[in-house]
DNA sequence: CTAAAATGAATGACCGTTCATTCAAAGTCA
DNA sequence: TGACTTTGAATGAACGGTCATTCATTTTAG
């Protein structure tokens, strides 16, 4: 995750403290963005939430802009790690099982929670004025898409004549998942993870009706 | 649209000027948010873009926060007007035609353009810290959803036993459209409106395969 | 003892808001 | 209609507060 310091055990007390403070700053900044918006996430607020001195931000990140960029990277890394773990866990399974697992990862509270989503939206809001954020928050750039496409190609047994279908299904499902995130962000109390999961799987199935096991009827409560 | 002044012709020169300046401030603020983010959309920048004096913001909106709120309302009103016009234009048609028209409205450049979407995202980013924005940017609160549900209920001939299906389809299609907006925001250059429209219609169809005309094969370029 | 980490008061830039002043249009009356 | 008064829109310099950053000093681990 962190290129500079990989393993805690090789670090002395001083470096462990430094690493811990770095993390505290990242977490406090996330919290400040969640609570007060990017506009309200001032050095003073971060200092207040973290309990660390005001000067420590410059010490660790040189500037506040650098800190914000590090928060974006941290968020993106956390997201990637989450879905990749699900890919590893299900990599022996059938495409349908892997698909189910990947969608579940994307809707999991580990990544889809109020604080994280507020921060995604904060950075996404500024991709035009701060191009350096774009790469971290762009689902098209994400390897997630590639993983999804791989599953769909598996569903059609890599038939090159149907590759366009796999790509369209990938685009559609990515968009649907993005929309679920938006719905969660705006209506966290009403959001139903299970319904979202079922809807995504249902849509994925509808693209490849012959390649799934016989389609069960829409399971509605 | 504006509760205070309805028709230009009843206004004198002074009030027309006032109305024009109000609009200039809203537009300049949108532009500033698009170019510099909410953080960078300062009074100075708005003054610079609009060519109007710094003091005019307080004069028209009392405070900058009020101005931002007015921009959010303006955006929401513009959005609502756009899809409602499409509903009026197609209200005599079959459900499928109305659905097609409603989706097209949601993907139309009139609302789905880089500046507008950047502003949607900016306000959505702050719904936790600025609850007053939520109502304007929440698709669940929107009458759009109600219109969509009405169309789906038409597709199932208002069969009460299938109402849950209509609701699920409404939620799914709303999410899909939200996701299309996100994709457009992050990748405006690669975004394909026609593909998005086809994907949405395809998903809608897949919920009610028997209620559409015989399903054509996925039309892929 | 040395060197790096941590501190936080000081600094200057920039923020939104205020308000005394200017200016032009609307209203009034002969 | 033309001269004068009233009204309120518009201005922008000035103000106090807040921002991110700096750096001389203190603390602490090696």
CATH number of the domain that residue A88 is part of: 1.10.357.10
Structural domain includes residue B216: no
Domain co-membership, B170 together with B87: yes
Closest CA to B29 of B57, B58, B1, B62: B57
Structural domain includes residue B219: no
User: What range does the domain containing A189 cover?
Assistant: 72-221
pLDDT in tens, A103-154: 999 999 999 999 999 999 999 999 999 999 999 999 878 899 999 999 999 9
Structural domain includes residue A8: yes
Percent of chain A scored above 90 by pLDDT?
85
Give the per-residue pLDDT at A139: 81
3-state SS, chain B, equals: CCCCCCCHHHCCHHHHHHHHHHHHHHHHHHHHHHHHHHHHCCHHHHHHHHCCCCCHHHHHHCCHHHHHHHHHHHHHHHHHHHHHHHHHHHCCCCHHHHHHHHHHHHCCCCCCCHHHHHHHHHHHHCCCCCHHHHHHHCCCCCHHHHHHHHHHHHHCCCCHHHHHHHHHHHHHHHHHHHHHHHHHHHCCCCCCHHHHHHHHHHHHHHHCCCCCCCCCCCCCC
Domain co-membership, A166 together with A92: yes
Place of tokens 């097609």: B100
Question: Residues A120, A123, A125, A131: is their CA dihedral positive or negative?
Answer: negative
Q: What CA–CA distance (Å, rounded) separates B196 from B198?
A: 5
Structural domain includes residue B200: yes
Give the CATH number of the domain where residue A26 resides. Answer: 1.10.10
Structural domain includes residue A67: no
Structural domain includes residue B12: yes
Domain co-membership, B77 together with B163: yes
Searching chain A, which residue's CA lies closest to the CA of residue B184? A175
Average pLDDT over residues A24-30: 98
Domain boundary among the residues B62, B96, B113 is at B62
Domain co-membership, B89 together with B163: yes
Give the per-residue pLDDT at A213: 66
Facing residue for A175 by CB, picked from B138, B176, B207: B176
Give the per-residue pLDDT at B218: 57
Give the per-residue pLDDT at B5: 42
Task: Flag if B38 and A40 touch (Cβ within 8 Å).
Answer: no
Which positions ≥6 away from B128 have C-beta within 8 Å?
Answer: A34, A35, A37, A114, A118
Give the per-residue pLDDT at A9: 64
Distance B119 CA to C19 C1' (A): 33
Structural domain includes residue B214: no
Searching chain B, which residue's CA lies closest to the CA of residue A168? B199
Give whole-number Cα distances, A88 to A82, A98, A111, B162, in Å. 10, 9, 17, 39
Distance A32 CA to D24 C1' (A): 30
Confidence class for position A2, pLDDT limits 50, 70, 90: very low
Domain co-membership, B94 together with B44: no
Reading chain B (221 residues) residue by residue, the pLDDT tens digits are 333 444 556 778 888 999 999 999 999 999 999 999 999 999 999 999 999 999 999 999 999 999 999 999 999 999 999 999 999 999 999 999 999 999 999 999 999 999 999 999 999 999 999 999 999 999 878 899 999 999 999 999 999 999 999 999 999 999 999 999 999 999 999 999 999 999 999 999 999 988 776 545 555 54
Domain co-membership, B76 together with B57: no
Searching chain B, which residue's CA lies closest to the CA of residue A196? B172
User: Which residues of A are less than 8 Å from B125 in CB distance?
Assistant: 37-38, 118, 121-122, 124-125
- Nearest residue to D8 via alpha carbon and C1': B14
Searching chain A, which residue's CA lies closest to the CA of residue B134? A186
Distance B195 CA to C19 C1' (A): 56
Q: Which of residues 8-27 of B touch strand D (CB under 7 A)?
A: 14, 17-18, 21
Domain co-membership, A168 together with A195: yes
Based on C-alpha coordinates, what's the Rg of chain A? 20
Tally of CB atoms within 10 A around B141: 14
Contact B78, B111 (CB under 8 A): yes
- State the total domains in chain B: 2
Lowest average pLDDT, out of A16-20, A173-177, B8-12, B158-162, goes to B8-12
Domain co-membership, B14 together with B77: no
Which nucleotide does the CA of A39 lie closest to, via C1'? D19
Closest CA of chain B from A60, distance in Å: 23
Confidence class for position A46, pLDDT limits 50, 70, 90: very high
Domain boundary among the residues B11, B35, B62 is at B62
Domain boundary among the residues A23, A38, A62 is at A62
Mean pLDDT of chain A: 92
Domain co-membership, A118 together with A212: yes
Facing residue for A35 by CB, picked from B38, B129, B185: B129
Give the per-residue pLDDT at B193: 98
Domain co-membership, B96 together with B158: yes
* Beta carbon pairs, A and B, within 8 Å: 164
Based on C-alpha coordinates, what's the Rg of chain B? 20
Give the per-residue pLDDT at B9: 60
Domain co-membership, A32 together with A54: yes
Cα-Cα-Cα-Cα dihedral of A27, A29, A32, A38, to 10°?
-140
Tally of CB atoms within 10 A around A78: 13
Give the per-residue pLDDT at A212: 79
pLDDT in tens, A68-116: 999 999 999 999 999 999 999 999 999 999 999 999 999 999 999 999 9
Query: Can you state the angle between helices A13-40 and A114-125, rounded to 10 degrees?
Result: 70
Contact B106, B177 (CB under 8 A): yes
**pLDDT of A170 higher than 90:** yes
Domain co-membership, A114 together with A200: yes
Structural domain includes residue B67: no
Closest CA of chain A from B91, distance in Å: 27
């Amino acid at each position: 995750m962190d290129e500079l310091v990989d393993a805690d055990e090789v670090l002395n007390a001083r470096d462990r403290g430094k690493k811990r403070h770095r993390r505290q700053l990242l977490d406090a900044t996330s919290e400040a963005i969640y609570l007060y918006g990017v506009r309200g996430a001032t050095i003073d607020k971060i200092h207040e939430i973290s309990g660390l001195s005001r000067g420590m931000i410059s010490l660790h990140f040189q500037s506040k802009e650098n800190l914000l960029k590090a928060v974006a990277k941290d968020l993106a890394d956390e997201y990637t790690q989450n879905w990749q773990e699900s890919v590893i866990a299900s990599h022996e399974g059938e495409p349908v099982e892997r698909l189910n697992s990947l969608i579940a990862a994307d809707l999991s509270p580990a990544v889809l929670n109020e604080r994280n989503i507020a921060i995604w939206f904060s950075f996404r809001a500024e991709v035009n004025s701060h191009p350096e954020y774009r790469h971290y928050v762009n689902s098209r750039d994400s390897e997630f898409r590639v993983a999804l496409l791989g599953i769909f190609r598996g569903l059609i047994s890599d038939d090159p004549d149907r590759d366009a279908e796999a790509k369209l299904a990938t685009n559609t499902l990515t968009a649907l998942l993005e929309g679920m995130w938006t719905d969660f962000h705006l209506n966290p109390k009403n959001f139903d993870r299970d319904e979202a999961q079922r809807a995504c799987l249902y849509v994925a199935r509808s693209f490849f009706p012959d390649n799934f096991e016989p389609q069960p009827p829409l399971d509605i409560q």
